[in-house]
Amino acid sequence: SSSSWITKTTSITGKWREMYFKLRRFHSKYGHSNVPPSYTQDPALAKWVQRQRAQYKKHHISTSSSTEHDRPKRKRTSSLLTSERIEALQSLDFSFLP
């Protein structure tokens, strides 16, 4: 199964895992993972998808190759979206761009 690796990871747990499986069911039903922001059947899933995109942007910024002194003087942003979670979303053809 394509999700068998989820059982051996630690970052695919709790609420994130629950929402991921909701997205998986959405993907199975509609053939894509682009949950619209106005998805009335499950507004929580729509919000979660938007959060994943925002977290992906943070993840991309925090893992960029620029050096610390090249960054603007601001608080460093960190992402809750781990590489494992990104891989899980990509397995559903998730688009990180809105």
Q: 47-77: per-residue pLDDT in tens?
A: 999 999 999 988 877 666 555 555 454 444 5
**Rounded Cα gap, residues 68 and 97, in angstroms:** 26
What is the mean pLDDT of the segment spanning 76-89?
Answer: 82
Give me the count of residues in the chain: 98
Task: Output phi, psi for 39, to 5 deg.
Answer: -70, 100
**How confident is the model at residue 58, as a pLDDT?**
86
**Rounded Cα gap, residues 23 and 27, in angstroms:** 6
**How confident is the model at residue 64, as a pLDDT?**
63
How crowded is the C-beta side of 33, counted as CA atoms within 13 Å? Answer: 21
pTM for the full predicted model: 0.74
